[in-house]
Amino acid sequence: MTTTLVLIASGILIGAGITLIWRDVLRNRRKVLAFVLPRDQPPAAHVAGEEVEITIQPTKARKPLAAFADLVSLVSATTSSEPPKPDRHEPTFDGPSAEREALTAVEQQWANLEPVISAGVAQVNTILATAVLTLGAQGKASWSYKNRGYGAYRRLLMGEESLGWTRIELSQDGTLMVDLKAHKDAWASINGRATTPAEGITRTAVSDLLSGCLKAAASRALLSTGGGGQAATAGDSSWSEVEVTVAASVKAANGALAQTGGNLRALAAAEWDPVLRRHRMTLAVEMGGAEVARMQIERLPHEVEVAVGVRDAQLMGLGRRRRIPIEGMTVHSLAELIGGCAWPVIARVRDMRSEPAHQRVPFLPNRD
């Protein structure tokens, strides 16, 4: 606005100056013509034919020019002394900010975790099947409120009915979170949240994380379907059918693993899980007396499942989950299954301890 007013004032002053100059030029022209008229010449000079010298003083004619020059200088100095103002609505681009770079890094880390998360969801869906629950397909990944975390939603289904939303997301501090919220207030008791560090996480760890968050939902679903009252009695008798075979198979597997320094140590007797509706026996997988992994042996309706979970990032990918039908199962066949699940971790730890530190090759996980 100031620049516009200055330019308008300059135009008015310039026009006034030009008008003054033009009027002065016309006035001086009339004076010059008056000097050369015959009636103004002296009679003697006209008769004698002498030349008449006419002298015009330019002092008055130059004063308007000098004033105009001063005016132009003043206007130029006024307009040039004020720096141009940038358009306040024009955005400036200084390159990607540190915050944008941090958000991009989280999005990339989530993309790297998605295969592991999907595998963990597949595992927990097998467990939830006993409670007629399923985690649905993953939606499009997005940022949560105020960019607290990046992840995606999945529906928690009981048969064909959707009970709530399950949000799996990665926060900016590297924490993987699972959050379940029911659609209806009547099912608010199933709401839950669980977190774990995302670095080095395996599909077994993702399955455990989801199981912890969905435990209340599974229990509520069992009560709703009427399957919770007689579960314990049925479960107590089911483990007794395989207890002797499992104990003998663990002993046989230890006999083979002892030659390499490996050992399987039971941490507790098999316990009935009323939520999962199955017996589970937990063992420590040891190498040289140090625990390197955990093993779980579970009794399913028609199978025995053996699973090994590894939390060390260097051993990521060595976890195993295998099943064997109960019908026709022998001590030898179950011992081979148990030893086969424990062997990858034991062998890798043994090789790492035998290699000099400077010759160790970074471990590439087996995605089997």
Q: What is the pLDDT of residues 255-309, one digit of tens each?
A: 888 888 889 999 888 888 776 778 889 999 998 888 888 899 999 888 899 998 8
Structure tokens at 266: 């039971």
> Which residues, in sequence order, are bridge partners of residue 285?
264, 293
Neighbours of 364 (CB within 10 A): 8
**CA 44 to each of CA 33, 41, 54, 332: distance values in angstroms, whole numbers, following the listed order:** 20, 9, 16, 156
- Quick one: pLDDT at residue 75? 44
**Residues in the chain, how many?**
368
| Three-state DSSP state, 337 | helix
Q: 280 - beta bridge partners?
A: 271, 298
What is the Cα–Cα distance from 20 to 241, expressed in whole angstroms?
121
What stretches in the chain show pLDDT beneath 70? Answer: 1, 25-26, 28-96, 224-237, 275, 313-314, 316, 355-368
C-alpha torsion sign, points 42, 47, 53, 59: positive
Rounded to whole angstroms, the Cα distance separating 300 from 296 reads 12
Give pLDDT, residue 306: 92
C-alpha neighbours within 13 Å on the C-beta side of residue 356: 2
C-alpha dihedral sign at 219, 121, 314, 107: negative
pTM over 0.85: no
Q: How far is the CA of 353 from the CAs of 181, 318, 349, in angstroms?
A: 46, 17, 6
pLDDT digits (tens, 9 = 90+) for 80-97: 444 444 444 333 434 467
Q: Which helix (H) or strand (E) holds 260?
A: none
Nearest of 176, 291, 298 to residue 235 by alpha carbon:
298
Q: Where are the domains of the chain?
A: 2-81, 98-224, 231-359
pLDDT at 354: 74
Instruction: State residue 36's pLDDT score.
Output: 47
The mean predicted confidence, pLDDT, of the chain is: 76
3-class secondary-structure state, position 161 = strand
